[in-house]
Structure 1
């Protein structure tokens, strides 16, 4: 059974919570329709006997006998219902499958029928009647564009006896919750920090070392390795071999990137939902969903390139994810992003979060207030290269009143001025709409310079 919602752009990945099971319901009672029909047939039978009308009595006797026979065959036992992870078919590992968030609804009880009503976030879903032969497992698929902790489905189950003559007590509602991890988008070239760190890595630095391109040709000095002697240059400059010349190279280094997510705002494309009275539609991705996807995409791209990536939250004061590399670091960042959410009124910061020296800071925010812009500007003044990623969705202004449309217009003008001030302070601005990979590639090419520029010798 499938719950109707807008499908995501790419298959999501989720972390399943514990299995939720409903208490068994073992009492079976006659259905209301059978009770009313039996009463009518009994009245008809008694009336036929009292009126000495056998034809009338037979009309009421036959259905009454069938009802009694069906009630005598009603099941005895409890009907249980529970949710469990989907570990079959396209999702053997429970880490994600095409088509949406998946789970399985388990049913166990006597040989009978069961009415299953599935809903999601108080939205109507499937209403089916299934056969339960002692045990039955039903697949449940929920399509979503949201990330983070959310409800997969809620099921209400009621047992139905043979011929619908009896019904069991409805089982308590069972709910399956899960944490949907953000998906990633393929990216092209990425901007690098002004300074590269370390003695190894995927990028060529300015320092002398090994692994990079040619730095220069220099007379041999104590400490130079003999395998680096360039015999052609030596033969040309010193035919008598009085002096040896060696080839020196640039050292390889790595980039340190800190992703900063502004979790204070979680707004959708409809401005009427920003006040909190109305919830965004489930098929609309909010700004925090876009921030999670953008941060996960950049983290995957940098980590696949061999760089180190960390994660911090501007809205909540908690221990950040320190910069690291490898597949486990990507999993750690995606889990932290999925759990990022607004937590009440954020406290005012006296200073921006601390980041490693020479790191590239990428901030994901809606920039609806001055706090995020102020923090980005202070990082830039401290010497870091800062990239501001605008994750505000495209607004829908249709259906707004005149005063609401005016408020949106004023907010848009103020935000544009704020973004222009960031650009004047040498903060590079990227909008996560359309083709962000192209915009990031433009930034990467715009900042091309000699390897390791800004790194002291």
Structure 2
């Protein structure tokens, strides 16, 4: 965490508060009086002159002491993956030379600084974070320092405000498409005839066909006497409907010892929900940039889902919705799967530590949807685990591998987001053409 200051006008300080003398004031008065007494009794005016400035400086500091309390307020300015920024507004009563600050964040060490405050000042705050979602900015403890450091004000603490840290999408070259496209406009070529796409076939002229579509070469070749005219039919341009299903029930880190929830997760470790937010934001940005429609469903909480939509505003809604996802109490078992638009592509982001997400993926496959299961479990850290913990991790890994194998056997496709090759895997799935029914869908 680092701080950089700039002057700014802010509200005045609060109610007056007592300022206490420091040991420096006591020593200055004591030493000055001793030198004065020794100089007077010993007939040494030079010694008395040495002690006089110390006594006068201490008395001047007491007379000009600040009357009031230091006012501080933390205002978050932005929150994104890898950086949280905010402004610390300070206001000190007249006579205050500086303010002593102690900045702390949960799970991190403290940062102390002495900041000169000429009445009012704004200090910029910046903290590093690998987490997303609601995060605390910083907790501030402050204390005013009087002239010469002889007096200090009362210590006060400001509660840490919360900022919503948005996930940062990654770059993806290509994304898979559903088996059936919808709509009458978009960037993808559908299987049905329409306007704007590539060549579909050569077909006999029918009522409703425009004369400009007549292919005279094909007509001359197939019907030399012009008994029948032939037209070129093109593919329609359609849009894809994508549903992002995020399993917010689990928020586990790479240390298996924290999966039970008893031990806290290290603040510098990205959790499974952080990976899920990043993965979902990445694919949402890619699809919406192509003019497709994207919606969000949450497996953890039965709140109103974000309906599929398109455009820049929809991307902002999706990213904001993803940042708000978090575990909320003990989730109840779903009786039926969340509603998914017919013909849409389902991307399921889950750790697959329990069978519910896998059962939903198989159900969507039986309904005819193309399903991409995105594994967001971080790579486990096995260093430091004892024999019993390694055995427990091995059992959980075997069960999870069998569960994922059943999902793939049902026709879903698997992408592990913790791997660096996740974008390449999505691009490989995108090469499976949606024009041929069944290919790449199971």
TM-score using structure 2 length: 0.89
More displaced stretch, 68-77 vs 288-297: 68-77
Is 1:257 aligned to 2:247, yes or no? no
Question: 1:204-223 maps to which residues of 2 (within 5 A)?
Answer: 204-223=189-208
Counterpart among 252, 259, 263 of residue 267 in structure 1: 252
Is 1:430 aligned to 2:430, yes or no? no
Match of 1:403 in 2: 388
Structure 2 SS opposite 1:103:
strand
Q: Return closer, same or farther for 1:288/1:122 CA change in 2, 3 Å cut-off.
A: closer
More displaced stretch, 427-436 vs 387-396: 427-436
Q: Return closer, same or farther for 1:221/1:99 CA change in 2, 3 Å cut-off.
A: closer
Counterpart among 300, 304, 309 of residue 285 in structure 2: 300
How many Å separate the matches in 1 of 2:334 and 2:172? 33
How many Å separate the matches in 2 of 1:25 and 1:128? 24
Question: 1:281-320 maps to which residues of 2 (within 5 A)?
Answer: 281-320=266-305
Q: Shift of the alpha carbon at 1:60?
A: 5.9
Match of 1:108 in 2: 91
Q: Return closer, same or farther for 1:296/1:159 CA change in 2, 3 Å cut-off.
A: same
Q: Shift of the alpha carbon at 1:275?
A: 2.1
More displaced stretch, 25-34 vs 39-48: 39-48
Q: Return closer, same or farther for 1:53/1:372 CA change in 2, 3 Å cut-off.
A: same
Match of 1:67 in 2: 58
- Runs of 5+ unmatched residues, structure 1: 4-19, 87-93
Q: Shift of the alpha carbon at 1:140?
A: 0.7
Counterpart among 22, 47, 56 of residue 32 in structure 1: 22
| CA offset digits 1:341-383 (Å, max 9, x no partner) | 0000001111111101111111001011111111111111111
Counterpart among 357, 362, 370 of residue 372 in structure 1: 357
Q: Is the 8 A contact 2:86 2:125 kept in 1?
A: yes
| CA offset digits 1:271-307 (Å, max 9, x no partner) | 1222222221111100000000000000001111111
- Runs of 5+ unmatched residues, structure 2: 4-9
Match of 2:321 in 1: 336
Q: Return closer, same or farther for 1:396/1:85 CA change in 2, 3 Å cut-off.
A: closer
Question: What number of residue pairs does the alignment pair up?
Answer: 428
Structure 1 SS opposite 2:287:
helix
Match of 1:76 in 2: 67
| CA offset digits 1:198-239 (Å, max 9, x no partner) | 222221122121112222222222111122122233344444
Q: Is the 8 A contact 2:177 2:434 kept in 1?
A: no
Q: Return closer, same or farther for 1:453/1:368 CA change in 2, 3 Å cut-off.
A: closer
| CA offset digits 1:230-288 (Å, max 9, x no partner) | 22333444444443222112222211110100001000011122222222111110000
Structure 2 SS opposite 1:437:
helix
| CA offset digits 1:24-74 (Å, max 9, x no partner) | 36324232314532664487479759x945669947655333211222222
How many Å separate the matches in 2 of 1:205 and 1:199? 9
Match of 1:167 in 2: 152
How many Å separate the matches in 2 of 1:342 and 1:114? 40
Match of 1:149 in 2: 134
Match of 1:361 in 2: 346
Q: Is the 8 A contact 1:25 1:170 kept in 2?
A: no
Structure 2 SS opposite 1:200:
coil
Q: Shift of the alpha carbon at 1:121?
A: 1.4
Match of 1:7 in 2: none
Q: Is the 8 A contact 2:76 2:163 kept in 1?
A: no
How many Å separate the matches in 2 of 1:124 and 1:418? 41
Match of 2:435 in 1: 450
How many Å separate the matches in 1 of 2:429 and 2:276? 19
How many Å separate the matches in 2 of 1:114 and 1:344? 42
Match of 1:11 in 2: none
Q: Is the 8 A contact 1:99 1:141 kept in 2?
A: no
Q: Return closer, same or farther for 1:262/1:84 CA change in 2, 3 Å cut-off.
A: same
How many Å separate the matches in 2 of 1:386 and 1:449? 13
Q: Is the 8 A contact 1:287 1:391 kept in 2?
A: yes
